[in-house]
Chains A and B, each alone.
Chain A
Amino acid sequence: MATHHANAVLPDEPEKATLEGKNKLLGFWLFLGGETVLFGSLFATFIALRDQANGGPTSQELFDMPLVAAATLLLLTSSMTAVMATLALHKKNLKQIQVWLTITVILGLGFLGLEIYEFMHYVHEGHKISTSAFGSSFYTLVGFHGGHVAFGILWIILLQVSATKKGLTVVTAPKFYLASLYWHFIDVVWVFIFTVVYLMGMIGGKVG
């Protein structure tokens, strides 16, 4: 089960060739279900509190389209490169997987960099977690997402490093598959953040 040699023939869809792989896939989908509730709760909290600036800066004063658009672009592209990695997985081409994942990681780091810059900028403007309920809910929701991105980057790098030794096997294949699934998930969450936090925060005064 565990010690297939690198040159052994890999089955099609190696990520679900073993019971372990199938279990991992299902378990991970369920985990993402739980994560959906987690982010759903954070979104609901944010929506309830986003107009409570308490005299501090409001979303209309803070948010800045070019920066957010750039971050979005980076993350959406990285999702696409993660798809390419999964396609490479189905072609059982480890080298291609590594290339696409490396690009994904670089894009993800770019996104994180922009987010850190953004947060520092806001704090400078007097928008802190302790400024207002809006500040608390903003940093918690967006920061939780950012934390997920950071974790994803670490995870993928670790996976890439260990795969150079282990090769592509029925043990490593599910891990690649799951990492890219995770990456899509945080991308989808970002699409909601982009809409609910930034777009809705930039237009109009009070909504609802």
Chain B
Amino acid sequence: MSAHASHAPKRSGLWDWLTTVDHKKIAILYLIAGGIFFLAGGFEALLIRLQLMYPESSVVGAKTFNELITMHGTTMIFLAAMPIIFALMNAVVPLQIGARDVAFPFVNSLGFWLFFFGGVLLNTSWFLGGAPDAGWTSYTTLALNQFSGHGVDFYVLGLQIAGIGTLIGGINFLVTIINMRAPGMTFMRMPMFTWSAFVTSGLILFAFPAITVGLVLLMFDRLFGGNFFNPDAGGNVVIWEHLFWIFGHPEVYILILPAFGVISEVISTFARKRLFGYSSMVFATALIGFLGFMVWAHHMFTTGLGAIANTLFGLATMLIAVPTGIKIFNWLLTMWGGQIRFTSANLWAVGFIPTFTIGGMTGVMLAIPPADYQYHDSYFVVAHFHYVIVGGLIFGLFAGLHYWWPKMFGKMLNETLGKWNFWTFFIGFHLTFFPQHFLGLMGMPRRVFTYLKDQNLDFGNFISTIGAFGMTIGTILFVVNIIVTANSSKRAPADPWDGRTLEWSIPSPPPEYNFAQTPLVRGLDAFWIEKVAGNKGMTPAEPLGDIHMPSPSFLPFMMSVGLFIAGYGFMYHNYVVVVIGLLVTFACMFLRSVNDDPGYHIHEDEIEEVKA
């Protein structure tokens, strides 16, 4: 032991961020990168809506419109929503289970940088000859060379790189949650957010390899003369649909389950009650995760799989309404009779419930195969999935960010700005997407850059674009709030909301070792139990002692840079560049495996005992 360095090499500024393996800092990196991509995706959405504000307009034109919808969908799903979820999971999960760290800090940082460089690669397409334009689903044959531009190559390679990052991130959380829980933290005492992170990570593990394979096959077709999706040479385009949706449907649960987790935490904290029906919530989460894998073909009703397949997939889809309904009722019953505080965080959570429920109801409508022939590829679908993804996930993320901001940054977000932010976004959201249900029913097709005058589509589209401005204002207010908060000098207390779970038992922001002494967990809502028993903080499960920490490392960054370089080499058929890129990556892997990280120790006398 004495051989170790007792201090981390002191790092500061940019270098610190490029090399950090601390899950709390990685959370912030995910938040910043995901936030920037969210702004980009939102800007793209605004341009789409401007194009559609009036009939037969030519604000951006057809070609750019195709690029915009493709990049908007792809960016929002892969580069905004997923990373912000990872931001919350990184910030919160280790704290909620009483862990000092995640299982693989190095892998954690690698996962971030892979996502980041994959996303950058994808977005450079805008400047290198045009963005992908085959839709975020990249359906073949549209996505083959004959019918789409070079941009799809950026999609194929960018998403492969980012996807590896997500996959290893998922494995990291699974192992962390299984192996690193504090004494007494049984599975059935785990907070709902951690449970949802657990199930989500499991879904990532089994869903992402499927899209990776799809992307590899598409890459072979586009870059190396493969024939997977070329019907002229025996290829089969339905394979792409299957692979895409075997990933794509679980993906929507990967997105929504963490939001469910956030809502459970926020609602019970601000109703000052323990979550109603905790074990049924756990069960419902796991069941939704499982069923999520059984229903992918409901995206393919009109593909022609046949009546039997359509019926089975339709029924399986409707089945998911049961566990989802359980969750909705449990949230309502948690609020029932509680002492509800309408903080900004809770506004988002309460706003989530009816909004998400509407999205769920239109989902059941879409699950009826014959009806889907009518809705398919119309604005009804666009309305449905935005009710689920924005009204569900994005509301959930806003709730989570307002709730955990003090824990992550040690500052309280401004409540007044938060409320303005909520109401403008909430009203803007419903203005944008509610009319789209009717536009769809009236026959307005999705992914078409304009519509004709006087077909009863003018008014709905106009309102929808006005709503998009509302959401834009809401988003800007959130950015303003962040700036105002960052410049204020008021520090957040350890437990600003009178919280129930472990993360509130340590200072805001937490020290790098999280818990000076691993806490002993005595039940569900571990910190609440201690507070009710009149204790100041958690009872420690171990004596105070030296804490071992992993060293920071620049290798994850460099490994990702290597793949980033190799990606361009593949796209431009320049194999010298490919080899250079891959050599960088492999050299880093080599260095990592040859030099075992001894880490360093934080000594007992440097650890401050926490007074909650």
Q: Which residues of A contact B (CB under 8 A)?
A: 1-3, 19, 22-23, 26-27, 30-31, 33-35, 37-38, 41-42, 44-45, 48-49, 52-54, 129-137, 140, 158-159, 162, 166, 171, 175
Contact = CB atoms under 8 A, between A and B. Distances in A.
B225 interface: yes
Contacts of B243: 41, 45
Contacts of B207: 37
B605 interface: no
Interface in B154-213: 167, 171-172, 174-175, 178-180, 205-210, 212-213
Nearest to A141: B213
A33 to B, nearest CB: 6
B179 A130 contact: no
Contact of B597 (A2, A34, A140, A158): A2
Interface in B544-582: 548
B139 interface: no
8 smallest CB-CB distances across A and B, nearest first, come from A52-B234, A130-B225, A133-B234, A38-B209, A41-B213, A37-B209, A136-B226, A23-B103
B532 interface: no
Interface of B: 1, 3-4, 103-104, 167, 171-172, 174-175, 178-180, 205-210, 212-214, 216-217, 220-221, 224-228, 230, 233-236, 239, 242-243, 246, 548, 590, 593-594, 596-599
A109 B440 CA distance: 59
Given A2-B598, A49-B234, A133-B234, A23 B209 contact: no
Contacts of A37: 205-207, 209-210
B208 A34 contact: yes
A30 B214 CA distance: 21
B10 to A, nearest CB: 21
Given A2-B596, A33-B206, A41-B243, A133 B233 contact: yes
A1 B548 contact: yes
A131 B209 CA distance: 26
B27 to A, nearest CB: 20
A70 B104 CA distance: 40
B182 to A, nearest CB: 13
Contacts of B599: 1-2
Contacts of A27: 103-104, 171-172, 174-175
A19 B179 contact: yes
A140 B220 CA distance: 9
Contact of A26 (B178, B227, B234, B235): B178
B231 to A, nearest CB: 9
B213 A136 contact: no
B167 A34 contact: yes
Contacts of A35: 209
Nearest to B586: A154
B213 A132 contact: no
Given A35-B209, A52-B233, A133-B235, 12 more contacts: A1-B599, A19-B180, A27-B104, A27-B171, A30-B205, A33-B205, A45-B213, A48-B236, A54-B227, A130-B225, A130-B227, A140-B228
Which of A27, A42, A52, A129 is most buried by chain B, counting CB atoms within 10 A of its CB? Answer: A27
Contacts of A166: 596
B175 A26 contact: yes
Which of B172, B207, B228, B598 is most buried by chain A, counting CB atoms within 10 A of its CB? Answer: B228
Contact of A41 (B4, B209, B221, B224): B209
A34 B235 contact: no
A133 B220 CA distance: 11
B213 A162 contact: no
A34 B175 contact: no
Given A3-B598, A26-B178, A129 B226 contact: yes
A3 B230 CA distance: 56
Nearest to B102: A23
Given A23-B175, A133-B227, A45 B234 contact: no
A3 B213 CA distance: 40
Contact of A133 (B172, B214, B228): B228
B17 to A, nearest CB: 25
A24 B239 CA distance: 34
A134 B593 contact: no
Contacts of A53: 234
Contacts of B180: 19, 23
Contacts of B214: 41
A120 B174 CA distance: 42
A54 B231 CA distance: 10
A157 B303 CA distance: 49
A34 B209 contact: yes
Contact of A49 (B206, B212, B235, B590): B235
B227 A38 contact: no
Contacts of B236: 48-49, 52, 133
A175 B594 CA distance: 11
Contacts of B225: 129-130
Contacts of A41: 209-210, 213-214, 243, 246
Nearest to A36: B209
Contact of B230 (A22, A30, A133, A162): A133
